[in-house]
Amino acid sequence: MKKDRFLLLFLLTAFFRCAQAQQTKLTSEGNFQLPVCVYQGDTIPYITLPNVIVYPKLKFKSKKQENNYWRLVRDVKKTLPLAKEIKNAVIETYEYMETLPNKKAKDKHIKEVEKGLKKQYTARLKKLTFRQGKLLIKLVDRECNQSSYELVKAFMGPFKAGFYQAFASLFGASLKKEYDPDNDDKLVERVIELVENGQL
């Protein structure tokens, strides 16, 4: 037992000294390039490991609750990439619009973007279930820090935002729905973190 503790202590000390070593370079090992550090004359390769998220094991009260959880996992895996694509499209559109000289050029560009988005996403969005569509609205808010309603309003104006909101409300959805990771969407956030970390 003492040997194990001593070995662990030695390795941790070596690791921290290695991390602090001034002489750091890259070396080739086959097809891989590894960062290395020199510690007391020895060249030691090192890698940075990703964080591992640990949650307590879920306890399901019923088979139905367990099925709902795995359905949520499936829905997150399907909608999260879409939300991230939408975030990238919003950033690209905003950055490009900042380079345009006037409102006329911006309006023209927004119409082209809207047409392109419809062409690119309509078929994919039609394949989503109603539950997945509602989840996507929340995930867009999570990724963009703005509700879908606010994004449409900012880029296309209040009239179109109102139109799309009215259309969504016909189906019992709302573009104004916000993501709440501390309360309503706590389980969703857990699933997202595990999916993003490759643990689910």
Three-state helix/strand/coil letters over 58-69: CCCCCHHHHHHH
Question: Are 37 and 18 spatial neighbours (Cβ–Cβ below 8 Å)?
Answer: yes
Question: Are 10 and 19 spatial neighbours (Cβ–Cβ below 8 Å)?
Answer: no
- What pLDDT does residue 113 have? 82
For residue range 62-112, what is the model confidence (pLDDT) as tens digits?
A: 999 999 999 999 999 999 999 999 888 888 888 888 888 888 888 888 888
For residue range 10-64, what is the model confidence (pLDDT) as tens digits?
A: 444 444 444 444 343 444 445 566 777 888 888 888 777 777 788 888 999 999 9
Identify residue 99 by its one-letter amino acid code.
T
Q: How confident is the model at residue 200 (pLDDT cuts 50, 70, 90)?
A: confident
- DSSP β-bridge partners for residue 98: none
pLDDT at residue 5 is higher than 60: no
pLDDT at residue 186 is higher than 60: yes
CA separation for the pair 132, 80 (Å, rounded) = 10
